[in-house]
Amino acid sequence: MASTHKQNVDASRDVIREKIGDAKPKMAVILGSGLGGLTEKIENSVAIPYAALPGFPVLGVQGHVGEAVAGKLNGVDVLAFRGRKHFYETDDAYPLKTMIRTVKALGIETLFLSNAAGSLRDSMLPGALMMITDHINFMGFHPLVGPNDDDFGPRFPPMTDAWDPLLRDRLAETAQDENITLHEGVYMAFRGPSFETPAEIRMAQAMGGDAVGMSSVPDCIIARHCGLRVVGCSCITNLGAGMDDEELSHAHTLENAKRGAGNFERLVAAFVKHLA
C-alpha cells in the first residue's frame, strides 16, 4: 500500500503541475462545508476534479464539490480544495493523506484549514470566525495509525505547535487590518456523523474546547507529519447542543455557513498577501 500511495502522490502532483504550468502556489487551502465560494475569488482559475487525481477522495457529502482549483487569489498563486473525505464516511485515511501530501510534493509550505463548527461559548455566535489555536482529537481515530510512511515523515511527529504560532499571529493581524472580528480557541474533533449530545457538549467545555466539529484535526496531523505549516479557521454555524433550542442539521450548517463566508473569504484573500 505504501508504494502505491507514494505513486498516487507523485502522479497527482504531476497532473496538477501539468495543469498549472509555471505557477508556484504559495498556499493550499482546504475549504469546509459551505465555504467553497472562495474559489469564485480565484482569478485565471483552473479546476481539476478529484477524479482526475489518483488516490484523491470520492466525496458524498452535500456542500463538498470534490475539485482542486488553482489560480491567483489577491495576486498570489494558491491551490484550493473544495471538499474533503470525513472519517464518518470511511476508515481509510489514504485519500486525505494523498491530498495533503500532494500539497507538500508540489513544494507548497503552508496549508490553511477551514471548517464549519459548533460554538461552545455563548459569546461566539453563528457567523463568527474562530482562529484555531490548538486541537483536541476526540475522534477515537488517528490518521497515522499503522506502518509509518517513512517517505513523508517521522514515526512520532510532535504536535506542540501543530497550529503554527507565527502564522496565527499573522492571521490575527490580518483580521485586525481588515476590521474582521476573529475569535481564538481550541477546536475539538468528534468523529460524527451524529451531532454531539448536550452532555458531550458540557464535557467538551470542561475539557477546554471552544468549538466542535468533525474534520480538520486529521488534516492537521497529516500535514504536520510531512512538514507543512498549518493555520486554520472555523466558521461558527451553531451553538452546541443544549446551549439553545435550535434544531441541528447539515442543511442548517450549510445555511449558517453563508453568514460567515464573506468575512472568511476576505480574511483568506488578505492573509495570503503576507505569504507573497
Domains of the chain from N-terminus onward: 2-275 (3.40.50.1580)
- Say whether pLDDT at 100 is over 70: yes
- CA 24/CA 266 separation, integer angstroms: 22
Tell me which of 68, 70, 105, 214 is the catalytic residue.
214
Whether 86 is catalytic: yes
| pLDDT for the residue numbered 64 | 55
C-alpha cell at 212: 466542535
The three-class DSSP label of residue 187 is: strand
Q: Is 88 a catalytic residue?
A: yes
Instruction: Give the Cα separation of 237 and 79 in Å (integer).
Output: 25
Q: What is the pLDDT of residue 1?
A: 64
pLDDT at site 180: 98
Cα–Cα distance list, 114 to 6, 32, 66, 153, 216 (Å): 26, 5, 15, 23, 7
Q: Confidence band (pLDDT; 50, 70, 90) for 83?
A: confident
Task: Summarize the confidence of residues 230-244 as an average pLDDT.
Answer: 95
* 142 catalytic residue (yes or no): no
- Please write the tens of the pLDDT for every residue from 151-202: 999 999 999 999 999 999 999 999 999 999 999 999 999 999 999 999 999 9
Query: Residue 59 above 80 pLDDT?
Result: no
Question: What is the C-alpha radius of gyration for the chain, rounded to an integer number of angstroms?
Answer: 17
What pLDDT score was predicted for residue 60? 63
How far is Cα 197 from Cα 199, in angstroms, rounded to an integer? Answer: 5
What's the predicted TM-score (pTM) here? 0.95
Average pLDDT over residues 30-36: 90
Res 46 pLDDT > 90: yes
**Catalytic residue among 33, 119, 234, 256, which?**
33
- The predicted structure's pLDDT at residue 45: 97
Exactly one of 5, 86, 183, 225 is catalytic; name it.
86
Give catalytic status of residue 27 as yes or no.
no
Confirm whether 188 is a catalytic residue: no
Q: Is-catalytic flag, 123?
A: no
The answer to whether the CB of 215 falls within 8 A of the CB of 139 is: no
Residue 110 and residue 29: Cα distance in Å, rounded?
8
- Cβ atoms 44, 263 nearer than 8 A: no
**Whether residue 116 lies in the annotated active site:** yes
Spatial separation of the C-alpha atoms in residues 79 and 76, rounded to whole Å: 10
- Distance separating alpha carbons of residues 23 and 31, to the nearest angstrom: 21
Dist CA 92 CA 137 (whole Å): 17
User: Which of 217 and 260 is assigned the larger pLDDT?
Assistant: 217
Give yes or no for residue 20 having a pLDDT over 60. yes
Candidate list 11, 23, 45, 88, residue with the active-site label: 88
Is position 214 annotated as part of the catalytic site? Answer: yes
The mean per-residue pLDDT over the stretch 35-61 comes to 91
Residue 130 appears among annotated catalytic residues: no
Residue 257's CB is within 10 A of a number of other CB atoms, namely: 26
| 252 labelled catalytic | no
Contact residues for 5 (Cβ-Cβ < 8 A; gap 6+): 55, 94, 97, 98, 149
Average pLDDT of the segment spanning 87-104: 95
